[in-house]
Amino acid sequence: MTVLPIHYFPLADVGFAFRESNLAGQLIVLILLVGSVFAWTIMVSKVRELNRAGRLTDLFMHQYRKESHPLNLFLRQKRFAGSPVYEIYEKACLGVAAENDRLSRAGSLFAAEEAASLRLTTTQIEGIRNLAERNVADQALLLENNMGYLATAVSTAPFLGLLGTVWGVMDSFGGMARTGAPTLAAVAPGISGALLTTVVGLLVALPSAIGYNWITNRIRTLCVQMDNFAQEFSADIQRNFGAE
């Protein structure tokens, strides 16, 4: 079996390029590596959070649409913590309870008989609808938490890598001019080190861009579900509690 010399292995080439980089290039590579760890941490945590939110939201919506009364899940204290749609539902139910002195905000004293006889004015129903819509906006902001950092990694990493490359090439040609040795052997190591920053920048940006697009699409889907539920719940409240 033929054994390849060590310089044929990519990791050896990367190590060589890093050693040949100037101080600015090495610093940029380290910054990009730290940024990559940070970006991957955000992506992994967001994917887990959104997968759980989506699963619980589907379960909540299935249970909600099986009920004959919009407040039944709240009255029975059926919780779906982690679902942004459920959070909107819970806050809206508390808003319904707050509209009548007989109903307790704790939920456990919110009797089904009282709920069945409750009647709300048009102004009260509009207030509950506005409350649900405000909570949609609040939940959307929570879902988008830390996405700005990931967007920064996507847009900044290639330019930071390019900065290191341009700086390294400039340094290499400047050194060649000072030494008066215009040969490929004199400039090639510096060029190799300079190009390393662009490679690392792209390796950081490409996975971050894929993750950002997937996460953004998932957040958009949940936001649509939240908007649709707020309208559905408001219509159910109007139908069950509207004064005739």
pLDDT at 100: 66
Query: In this predicted model, which residue has the larger pLDDT, 24 or 90?
Result: 90
Q: What angle do CA 38, 39, 45 make, to 5 degrees?
A: 90
- Whether 240 has a pLDDT exceeding 90, the answer reads no
Residue 238 · residue 92 · CB < 8 Å:
no
Query: In this predicted model, which residue has the larger pLDDT, 110 or 128?
Result: 128
* pLDDT per residue as tens digits for the range 15-46: 767 676 777 778 888 999 999 999 999 999 99
- Whether 109 has a pLDDT exceeding 50, the answer reads no
Side-chain-side CA neighbours of 218 within 13 Å: the count stands at 22
**Secondary structure of 123-176 as H, E, C letters:** HHHHHHHHHHHHHHHHHHHHHCCCHHHHHHHHHHHHHHHHHHHHHHHHHHHHHH
Rounded to an integer, what distance in angstroms lies between the CA atom of residue 61 and that of residue 70?
Answer: 11
The dihedrals phi and psi of 79, each to the nearest 5 degrees, come to: -110, 145
Predicted TM-score (pTM) of the model is 0.79
pLDDT at 181: 59
What would you report as the CA-atom Rg of the chain, rounded to the nearest whole angstrom?
Answer: 29
pLDDT at 166: 86
- Whether 235 has a pLDDT exceeding 50, the answer reads yes
Residue 57 · residue 86 · CB < 8 Å:
yes
Rounded to an integer, what distance in angstroms lies between the CA atom of residue 173 and that of residue 187?
Answer: 7
Residue 234 · residue 128 · CB < 8 Å:
yes
Closest CA to 18 of 207, 194, 210: 194
- Whether 135 has a pLDDT exceeding 90, the answer reads yes
